[in-house]
Amino acid sequence: MEKIYDNREFSWLKFNERVLDEAKSPLTPPLEKLRFISITTNNLDEFYMVRVGSLTDRILLKSNNSEKRAELLELYDNILERTAAFYEKQESVYKDVISELSKKGLQILTPGELTNEQLVFVKLVYIREIAPLLSAYIVDNTTRYPHLENKNTNIALHIKKKDKKLLAFIHKGNAIPKIIKLPSKSGLKYVFSDDIILKYAGKLFEGCTILEKVIVKVTRNADLDALEALYDEDVNYRSKMKDLIRKRKRLLPVKIEVSDKISVGLRKLLTNNLNEKILLSNKIPMSFGFLADIEKNLPRDKRDKLVFEKWVPRLPEWYSDEMSMTNAIMKKDIMLFYPFDSTKPFFKLLEEAAGDPEVSSIKVTLYRLSHHSRLIDILLKARDAGKEVVTVMELRARFDEDNNINYSEILENAGAKVLYGPSDYKIHSKVLLITKGEKYITHLATGNYNENTAKLYTDINIMTSNYEIGADAESLFKNIEDGNLKGKYRILSVSPNGIMKRLIKLIGKEIEFQKQYGNGYIILKFNSLTSRPMMEKLIEASKAGVKIQLIIRGICCLVPGIKGETENITVISIVGRFLEHSRVFYFNHNSEKRMYISSADLMTRNLERRVETAVPVLDFEIKNRIYHTLLVMMSDDVKARIMGKNRKYNKKETGNDINSQAYFCEAEDL
């Protein structure tokens, strides 16, 4: 029998390959292709920091029996092999993109390709701007192996000092630019600062012979056990999180990358008694922080050819600066579809609430915020105006902890109430509640309150004055404060108890409709599928004949198309200019059309280990609008990839020539 389930880690690695495909697409401008390569690098680093870090911890557990450890080791070795193969693909794509950029008048050169004039310039830059910010170390009896910061690039050298072969490092100051613009009479020309340091590395080790020199990057385990971060009456939670962040920076390496092949001797020295398998060759830039510097220097005539045309989110036809958003929402539910719709109506609503004497409180859940958050500014205004401001700040939003700690301190200092949620359950809900007299306005979303990602992520936002939804949101905030995860709700579904139960019940009803009327039909759009109970229920529905269409950007552990099991399930993944991020659950229900938007993916952690929300779409027009977007996405044959029963993703061959994201950009009204 064919396997119904795919391995989670392998499924994620395939997703990263789909992102890399965007760097090969003729529809992607060349500098944007570099950005997609950059995304795959960042994705892979995070995958190693979290997933491989966790796998490493599990391998080291003494409680594992030999059979379990062997299984984990096989998975670990397979991931490393697939990563090495991915780096080869990545290098090939990178070379093609660099060649394309060169033809467009933008060149990234190696020191060996520089003219004499450029070499003189580079030497001066090195002497004046780079060399003063370098530190050289030789690892010997008097100097220990230095700490290499997570994800930073350094220079590693194999040197001969007298008769001894030793390991040496060059550490770089953070002020060194990642890329240097070269003097040029035609086009834009650059050279990487790391390559310049490599060229002059020998100058820092006078009297030594340089045997080998490479750029090296260490990626460290970041899978800190969330249980360590729990707070009690004797521990300051925010202080504890700061300690954990500092600890993360010093955890053991899970991946070491070098810019070229190296000898066995240098390999052993670099891995420093660790598993040598974690050392991988990566011949493209290990960090793409230089992209911002290149784009900053682009002249207008080059910009149009090298990057996407600037996208300006549209203002809905019904919107005007003079209107009252509060009054508009009191009359009718309003939907915003980011990044195609502007965030302006949402922020206008908040500004109105902050200055409205009838508004008594604003409450919001916060997971990821921009570094200069307009939302926080408005909340501070509301607090200055004497309103109650309650924020549920999730300090464990991975890799955004520093930012959230900073904002929690600012809000507390302004007199806002800052809650951190119940113990070991992350708060991932996207809910904002405005209380105006005896009325509520509730904003519910599939994505974060972050104006920067609102320009890059596709997310659905609904603003409603429905009293029951508002009362449920009020209960949600009270339950979070009380640590009550089993609270009762009238309209909202709230995990860790409610969303899975609701979805399983809805799928069960769809099975009944299929048996009665033969019209069972489900569309689910989200980012990852790993929950075994959810997959088992979908298999049950497929066996009953229910047609199921899944739109899953990332991980999918359920294999579609298996006869007698998942033959009625199709899975597509859309990767494009914008990050697909919205979560929508649609059930035909004998043409009744029941629909929910949610903050939750169908993953074990979201459904069982987080506080998430799902809300029914009650407005008929909004429901049809969202349904239309789902149909367009399922017709996409430009950016969509369909998953086969062989677990591989291939381009759809339908001849529609539909790029769903481009369609949403061009549509006058969604």
Segment (H or E) for 573: strand 569-574
Average pLDDT over residues 552-556: 98
Point out the least confidently predicted range of 55-69, 269-283, 298-312, 563-577: 55-69
Which residues are registered as beta bridge partners of 598?
Answer: 614
The yes-or-no answer on residue 428 being catalytic is yes
> In what helix (H) or strand (E) does residue 585 lie, and over which residues does it extend?
strand 584-587
Instruction: Note the pLDDT of residue 242.
Output: 59
Q: Are 13 and 43 in contact (CB under 8 A)?
A: no
pLDDT band at 274 (very low <50, low <70, confident <90, very high): confident
CA gap 368, 581 in Å, rounded: 14
pLDDT tens string 384-397:
999 999 999 887 75
The confidence score (pLDDT) of residue 461 equals 98
The pLDDT assigned to 226 comes to 37
**pLDDT score at 236:** 57
User: Residue 580 above 60 pLDDT?
Assistant: yes
Residue 190: the pLDDT is 97
For the chain, the C-alpha Rg in angstroms (whole number) is: 27
Per-position DSSP letters for 339-382, written without gaps between them = TTB-SHHHHHHHHHHHH-TTEEEEEEEES---TT-HHHHHHHHH
Tokens 């609701």 belong to: 502
What is the β-pairing status of strands 279-281 and 521-526? Answer: unpaired
pLDDT digits (tens, 9 = 90+) for 21-32: 999 999 999 999
pLDDT at residue 244, as a whole number: 55
pLDDT tens digits along 616-664: 999 999 999 999 999 999 999 999 999 999 999 999 888 889 999 999 9
Q: Is the pLDDT of residue 238 over 70?
A: no
Q: What is the pLDDT of residues 417-454, one digit of tens each?
A: 999 877 778 899 999 999 999 999 999 999 999 999 99
Quote the pLDDT of residue 373: 92
The token pair that represents 81 in the structure block: 């092999």
How many whole angstroms separate alpha carbon 21 and alpha carbon 160?
Answer: 43
Q: Is the pLDDT of residue 305 over 80?
A: yes
- Per-residue confidence (pLDDT) for residue 371, from 0 to 100: 86
pLDDT over 70 percentage in the chain: 94
Tens digits of residue pLDDT in 136-148: 999 987 778 888 8
> H or E stretch including 235?
none
Domains of the chain in sequence order? 8-306 (3.30.1840.10), 325-491 (3.30.870.10), 494-666 (3.30.870.10)
Q: How far is CA 439 from the centre of its chain?
A: 36
* Residue 497 DSSP code: T
Number of Cβ within 10 Å of residue 136's Cβ equals 14
Catalytic residue among 158, 371, 428, 628: 428
CA angle, 490 then 326 then 586, to 5°: 40
Q: What is the pLDDT of residue 24?
A: 97
The pLDDT of residue 228? 39
